[in-house]
Each structure stands twice: as structure tokens, then as C-alpha cells.
Structure 1
Amino acid sequence: MKSFTFSLLLIFALFSISTNAATITVTNNCPYTVWAAAVPGGGQQLGQGQTWTINPPSGTAGARVWGRTNCNFDGSGRGHCQTGDCNGLLQCQGFGVPPNTLAEYALNQFNNLDFFDISLVDGFNVPMDFSPTSNGCTRGIRCTADINGQCPSQLRAPGGCNNPCTVFKTDQYCCNSGSCQPTDFSRFFKTRCPDAYSYPKDDPTSTFTCPGGTNYRVVFCP
């Protein structure tokens, strides 16, 4: 009887995990190749119009999806990207090097809510849409301004636009003390992408929620 009960509990647990897990569809609409990256998930080369699907498990936190540009990998999946490079690997095991536009999320957290955002705290390289696609949740986020073209000279980087923390590494921009305020540089990002994180303490206008079990899409160049 105990083994039967345990089996039922295991089946129920597996069912709960499967029903609460998310599907995230990543699509490249850019007129150039983007090497999509995800932690968890790895990486995938995407030509224009191509799609990649990842399935992070229920409870995943501290996760992100981003695009890498101007990459060159060999047959073993080793190489380099101009933006968003993750230790020279096609299949990312860690986060990318700035500048890179980030889709960040945490699944099934407080009150079984998903939390998601677009962050420019690591700068900007590729325009992005990050939106729910199920569960009656419809409020998505977009950051499609020409940030690379309008980037202040102090923040310009090959293929992207750095966040000031990356460049200056001071508490004013990096918020290491936890008490920083908006700056002229953070306002540059915020005025162009009002729903995106422009500096680390930009929570009130930049974090969005959906019920746990919602599916999402990430679109490069929406």
C-alpha cells in the first residue's frame, strides 16, 4: 500500500510540475542572424524568421533569454560573439557579456506568480518583445527604440550600447550600496523603453506578473 501511495504522490508531483512549467518561444524577426541564448536552455542560431523553444521547469528563478550578434562558432560549438558572448560557447552555461538586452523571469514564485521583465542593466544590443501568450495574461513588454544608433558616446560599444555601470563601475551607476537614484544615463534608456529596467533599482515600473503556468514569447526585432 505504501508503494502504491508513493507512486500516486509521485505521479501527482510530476503532473503538477508539468502543468506549471512554461514554454518560451524565441523568434528572430531581425534581418540578420541572432544567436539566441538562455539560462537555463543553452543556445541556438536563428536566421530571420526562425524559432527556438525552451521549456524551463516550474520554480525556475534568476533566468534570462538574450540575443547574441556577430558570432562565429566551430563544429564543436566554440567561438566568439561580438555581443552577449557566454564564455565562447554556443550552448550557454552562464550569463552573457554586456551589452545585451535581457528578458528576465522567475516562475511560480510568491503567490504562484511569474515575474518577468526586460532589463537594460546590462545595456542593449537587440530590440526585444517579451510577452505572455496564455492564461489570459496579455500585458507584455517591448523595447524597440534605436538605442544603438542614439547611444551616448561614452556608452558606445561594438554592436551595442553599454549601461553606465559596465563602463564606469561606480556605486552611482551600479547601486552597490542599494541607495542609488536615476541618472542622466539611466534616463536615456528609460525615455526610449519606459517599461524596461534602466538601472538596478528601477523596480516599480519595470516588473510584470502573470499566473504561474503561463507561456511566453521572446521576439528579437518585433
Structure 2
Amino acid sequence: MHCYLNLSQSPKMMKSILSFLLMLTTYFSTSTYAARFDITNRCPFTVWAAAVPGGGRQLNSGQSWTLDVNQGTTGARIWARTDCRFDGAGRGSCKTGDCGGTLQCQGYGQPPNTLAEYALNQYNNLDFFDISLVDGFNVPMEFGPTSPQCSRGSKCAAAINSECPSQLRANGGCNNPCTVFRTDQFCCNSGNCGPTDYSRFFKNRCPDAYSYPKDDATSMFACPGGTNYKVVFCP
């Protein structure tokens, strides 16, 4: 059975249908848009890149991994794992950044690990992103936009591991004081805390990165929704 609608005899209906089709086109084009994250290892050693969402990938020196991440994604992280050993089923462990002993991360990594954090298409259709040392430091990192509509990013390339205070030293990295001491002063559990001598150690070396949980003013960056990004280990 065929159904035929003569739109020429119903201009109001035609206008309604065209408006509906335009709305659908706009919805599906925006709801399926994915921001691209190009993750590159420039370290002189192998890292096992980790991403939530995204999973994980072994990156030898010079190798890259591209992720497409849906708009509206929040609480996302990208980081490097070091000195990993995995079997054929993707089970094993890493010295730093381990995520439950799996190659394909489903949860966050174990400190210390330098973090690229982001949330896409949030308030005023902006992406928000940062480099965080609140979980400590293991590998230098650069995190920033690659699209022309935005240019300001963040970088933490200091020799933090070799200069790490003795109380914060960890195997393969440098812990944040919250991980070591677990007090409100350092972890800001009450939401009311300020910088400390330990957080200033990180901030003095990486001014663009989060050094403690309330370090928003100088550490959070924003780009218009639809921006693509790069994360570089050992920039």
C-alpha cells in the first residue's frame, strides 16, 4: 500500500515537516559529535597510555593513539602508566598509574600519576580541562587544544621526580601530600583548605597545573565545545 501526501496543497504542514527534519538533523549532528584526543608518547621509554573513557594502549616512544570522545562527557581522565607487564589477556600490573591490573582501564589509576582531566560541552557549551598533580606526578605532560578556535593549554614538564621531597617520594613518581598524609589540610575533605609548602613545591615547578584541590584560579582552562585536543607525554 502506498501513501501519498501532496505537500503543495498543505504549505503549513510542509513548513512543520521541514522544521521537524531540521531539528532532527541538528540533534543528530550535535549528539553524535566526538572530540578528538591525539595522545602521543615523546618519552624515551614505553608508556601504557590510559583513558577513562577510552581504555588503554601501549605506546612505544614516538607512537600515538587517537580517541573520539562524545560531547557531554564529564569526569574524564588521561594518564601514562609506567613499567607495566601484561599477559595475552590484558591482565598484569604497572609501577605507576595502574588501573586495577588491566590493560583496558575501566576506572581511575593508582597514584602517583600526572592527570589530564576534562569535561566536554558543559556550562555555556564550553569544554573545561586541566593538568592535575592532585594524584601526584609520574610523567611530564602537555595538554591543550589543536583546533583553531582555541589556543591556550597547560604544560608540566619539570623534573619533579628527581626533585621530589623525601616524604613524598614513591617508586616511579612523586606523591601528592594527600596520598601520603590523608589529612584535611592536604586533601581538603571539608572543602576549606589552602596552599601548603608541599603544594607550593608542585606549583612552583608547574604553575599551570593543579597542586591542591582548590587550585582552580590558575589551573582550569576552557575552550568552545567542538574543540579537539592533544595530550603529550614528555613534551
Aligned to 1:70: 83
Aligned to 1:18: 32
Q: Equivalents in 2 of 1:55, 1:96: separation in Å?
A: 20
Counterpart mapping for 1:1-222 below 5 A = 9-19=23-33, 21-222=34-235
| TM-align CA RMSD | 1.6
Q: Equivalents in 2 of 1:134, 1:96: separation in Å?
A: 28
Q: Equivalents in 1 of 2:149, 2:23: separation in Å?
A: 29
Deviation at 1:173, TM superposition (A): 0.2
Q: Equivalents in 1 of 2:19, 2:56: separation in Å?
A: 40
- Tell me the percent identity: 71
SS for the counterpart of 2:180 is helix
SS for the counterpart of 1:13 is helix
Q: Equivalents in 1 of 2:204, 2:64: separation in Å?
A: 30
With normalisation by structure 1, the TM-score equals 0.95
Q: Equivalents in 2 of 1:10, 1:82: separation in Å?
A: 48
Q: Deviations over 1:59-118 (max 9, x none)?
A: 001101000000000000000000000000100000000000000000000000000000
Q: Equivalents in 2 of 1:68, 1:3: separation in Å?
A: 52
Q: Equivalents in 2 of 1:91, 1:122: separation in Å?
A: 20
- Paired amino acid for 2:121: N
Q: Rg larger in 1 or in 2?
A: 2
Deviation at 1:136, TM superposition (A): 2.0
How many residues are aligned here? 221
SS for the counterpart of 1:154 is helix
- Paired amino acid for 1:157: A
Deviation at 1:124, TM superposition (A): 0.1
- Paired amino acid for 1:15: S
Could you tell me whether the CA contact under 8 Å between 1:135 and 1:211 is conserved in 2?
no
Deviation at 1:135, TM superposition (A): 3.7
Q: Equivalents in 2 of 1:8, 1:53: separation in Å?
A: 31
Aligned to 2:6: none
Gap runs ≥5 in structure 2: 1-12
Deviation at 1:17, TM superposition (A): 2.3
Deviation at 1:164, TM superposition (A): 0.2
- Paired amino acid for 2:110: V
- Paired amino acid for 1:195: D
With normalisation by structure 2, the TM-score equals 0.90
Q: Equivalents in 2 of 1:207, 1:5: separation in Å?
A: 39
Deviation at 1:140, TM superposition (A): 1.1
Deviation at 1:128, TM superposition (A): 0.1
Could you tell me whether the CA contact under 8 Å between 1:165 and 1:174 is conserved in 2?
yes
Q: Equivalents in 1 of 2:154, 2:175: separation in Å?
A: 20
- Paired amino acid for 1:138: S
Deviation at 1:159, TM superposition (A): 0.3
Q: Equivalents in 2 of 1:205, 1:8: separation in Å?
A: 41
Deviation at 1:10, TM superposition (A): 4.3
- Paired amino acid for 1:125: N
SS for the counterpart of 1:56 is strand
